[in-house]
C-alpha cells in the first residue's frame, strides 16, 4: 500500500476504530504503557497514534507527541485529548517515514500496531531510531510473523489480503531489527490470544551501551 491508500483506509476506519481494534487491543496497550520506565519530564513519541487510545494511559508528568498520517484518526485523537484534558499531549499530522522532528528528541518512542501497518517499515524504524536519543527506548507492540513453519506459511498466504485492510502479517521481528542499532531488552507475548508481542528495545546508536 502507498501512503495515500494507508491514509484513505485509516480515515475510513476512524469512525469504527474504537469499537473494534480500539477495544480488542486495549488490554495490551495498558500492559505496554504501564511497564514503561517513564521518568518525570520524559519526552515520548507515539508513532501512528491513531485515535489516541493509549494517550490517557501515560502519566501526566511526561510530554507526549502523537503523530499520524490520517486526518480522520487524528480528529478522534484530538477529541480524546480534549475529553480527558490531556494538556501534556500534542498531536501532529506527519508521515512516520519522514518525520519533521530533530535527532535525539525523545526518551521513548512507542509504535503500537504500526510497524506492519506502514507502507515502508524500514523507513519508519530508521526514523524512530534517529529521533530517539542514544540509550532511549523504542517500543513496538505488534504481531510479528511466527517461527512455526505452518503458521508462517498461512501468514504469508493471507498477507496480501490483509494489506487491503491496512496491515501485513508476514513481517518477522528479525527482519525489522536486522542491521539496526536496536537491542531487545524485553520481549513478551500479549493478548489477544498471546498472538502479539511487546518488544522493548534499547537504542544503541552512537555506541551507547545499555545500563542495568
Ligand X SMILES: C[S@@+](CC[C@H](N)C(=O)[O-])C[C@H]1O[C@@H](n2cnc3c(N)ncnc32)[C@H](O)[C@@H]1O
Give, to the nearest 10 degrees, the angle between helix 71-83 and helix 3-17. Answer: 40
Contacts of 61 (CB under 8 A, 6+ apart): 38, 40, 41, 88
CA distance 211 to 193: 33
Q: Which is nearer to ligand X, 53 or 135 (CB)?
A: 53
Taking the complex as a whole, the smallest distance from the CB of residue 210 to ligand X amounts, in Å, to: 25
Beta carbon of residue 209, minimum distance to ligand X (angstroms, whole number): 30
Q: Nearest CA to 128 among 48, 50, 55?
A: 48
- Summarize as ranges the residues that interact with ligand X (CB under 6 A): 3, 6, 10, 21, 25, 29, 48-50, 53-54, 67-70, 73, 95-97, 112-114, 117-118
Residue placing its CB nearer to ligand X in the complex, 78 or 204: 78
The secondary element (H helix, E strand) that includes residue 98 is none
Q: Which residue is nearest to ligand X (CB)?
A: 50
Burial of 120 (0-12, 13-18, 19+ CB in 10 A): middle
Shorter beta-carbon distance to ligand X: residue 126 or 204? 126
Closer to ligand X at the Cβ: 4 or 153?
Answer: 4
Question: What beta strand segments (E) does 84-212 contain?
Answer: 89-93, 106-112, 132-142, 182-190, 196-203
- Smallest distance, ligand X to C-beta of residue 3, A: 6
Longest CA pairwise span in the chain (Å)? 47
Give whichever of 188 and 204 is closer to ligand X, judged by the CB atom: 188
Amino acid at each position: 500500500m502507498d501512503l495515500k491508500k494507508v491514509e484513505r483506509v485509516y480515515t475510513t476506519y476512524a469512525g469504527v476504530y474504537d469499537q473494534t481494534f480500539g477495544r480488542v487491543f486495549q488490554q495490551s496497550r495498558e500492559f505496554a504503557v504501564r511497564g514503561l520506565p517513564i521518568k518525570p519530564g520524559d519526552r515520548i513519541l507515539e508513532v501512528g497514534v491513531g485515535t489516541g487510545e493509549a494517550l490517557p494511559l501515560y502519566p501526566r508528568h511526561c510530554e507526549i507527541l502523537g503523530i499520524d498520517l490520517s486526518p480522520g484518526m487524528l480528529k478522534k485523537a484530538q477529541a480524546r485529548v480534549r475529553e480527558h484534558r490531556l494538556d501534556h499531549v500534542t498531536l501532529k499530522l506527519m508521515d512516520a517515514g519522514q518525520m519533521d522532528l530533530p535527532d535525539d528528541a525523545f526518551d521513548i518512542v512507542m509504535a503500537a500496531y504500526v510497524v506492519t501497518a506502514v507502507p515502508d517499515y524500514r523507513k519508519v524504524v530508521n526514523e524512530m531510531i534517529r529521533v530517539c536519543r542514544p540509550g532511549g527506548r523504542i517500543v513496538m507492540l505488534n504481531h510479528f510473523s511466527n517461527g512455526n513453519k505452518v503458521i508462517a506459511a498461512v501468514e504469508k498466504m493471507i498477507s496480501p489480503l490483509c494489506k487491503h485492510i491496512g496491515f501485513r502479517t508476514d513481517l518477522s521481528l528479525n527482519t525489522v531489527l536486522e542491521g539496526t542499532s536496536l537491542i531487545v531488552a524485553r520481549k513478551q507475548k500479549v493478548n489477544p490470544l498471546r498472538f502479539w508481542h511487546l518488544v522493548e528495545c534499547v537504542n544503541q546508536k552512537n555506541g551507547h551501551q545499555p545500563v542495568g
